[in-house]
Amino acid sequence: MRILVTGAAGYIGSALVDALSPKHDVLATDQAAMAFGSSRVEATVGNIAYPQFARALVTPDIDTVFHLASLVSGGAEQNFELGNKVNLDATRDLLEACRLAGRDYVCPVRPDTRMACISLGCVTEAFSHAAGIPAEQLKASRTMLLTGISVSAQQMWDAVRARAKGRVRFDPDPGLQKIMDAAPKSTHSRRAEQLGFRHSRNIEEIVAEYESEKAEHEKNHSDTSFARHG
């Protein structure tokens, strides 16, 4: 069994890690440095008030969580904002990570179902790019079809499988399958190409772009929230 202990440098947390480690693998975390004698303890230092850090602690191999990190002994009353962030928000983030860990997903179409795909980054780029194209170059038509590569539901699952916390089960819904079977499987826009619009090259690139944009967004969000909380 692999156990996560937060607040592992604290009074109770450090004793708990020592008590657990002869029998279990332990992931010990705290914002303060920790030193444990057992090779079964992995220690990771970080601030649990950062949602990205808190959520990343609950990986699919974690069986049990003992959440002891907190602002105690009047600390939360003295710094109310920080108290909320550590004692309330971080607890909620951990619970949410536990809820999502290992949850299975149902894909309502067959694995071979294909659809035209493009990354979110390409789409937002396309809006700015379109706004900068001179009217004479666009001529009369102002609509722009973008190129969407053909990706199957199975290929999408394969592209995220290694990092997924749950599994995907394919359970086609006849109504949805009919709609998806009738939709375009890919689009190729020569006009978009000529006018310099970028399109995605493969599903791996789409996933990688999404992940880096999400990480950037969460980093900015945490920074802003901490700046606001002083």
Ligand X SMILES: NC(=O)c1ccc[n+]([C@@H]2O[C@H](COP(=O)([O-])OP(=O)(O)OC[C@H]3O[C@@H](n4cnc5c(N)ncnc54)[C@H](O)[C@@H]3O)[C@@H](O)[C@H]2O)c1
C-beta of 9 vs 156, nearer to ligand X: 9
105 part of the interface to ligand X, by CB under 6 A: no
Q: How many other C-beta atoms lie within 10 A of the C-beta of residue 14?
A: 20
Helix locations, 21-107, DSSP H: 51-57, 75-78, 80-83, 90-100
Q: How many other C-beta atoms lie within 10 A of the C-beta of residue 174?
A: 7
d(CA 169, CA 53): 29
Select from 57, 58, 65, 86 the one that contacts ligand X (CB under 6 A).
86
C-beta of 93 vs 199, nearer to ligand X: 93
C-alpha dist (Å) from residue 41 to 70, 109, 142: 21, 43, 61
Per CB under 6 A, the segment of 9-17, 102-110, 122-130, 156-164 that binds ligand X is 9-17
Per CB under 6 A, the segment of 19-27, 64-72, 155-163, 190-198 that binds ligand X is 64-72
10 part of the interface to ligand X, by CB under 6 A: yes
> Is beta strand 64-67 parallel, antiparallel or unpaired with respect to 2-6?
parallel
148 part of the interface to ligand X, by CB under 6 A: no
If DSSP codes are grouped into helix, strand and coil, which group holds residue 225? helix
Contacts of 170 (CB under 8 A, 6+ apart): 106, 107, 109, 110, 111, 153
For the bound state, the minimum distance from the C-beta of residue 28 to ligand X, rounded and expressed in Å, comes to 10
For the bound state, the minimum distance from the C-beta of residue 7 to ligand X, rounded and expressed in Å, comes to 3
151 part of the interface to ligand X, by CB under 6 A: no
189 part of the interface to ligand X, by CB under 6 A: no
Q: 11-50: which residues touch ligand X (CB under 6 A)? A: 11-13, 30-32, 47-49
Write out the residues near ligand X by the rule CB under 6 A. 7, 9-13, 30-32, 47-49, 68-72, 86
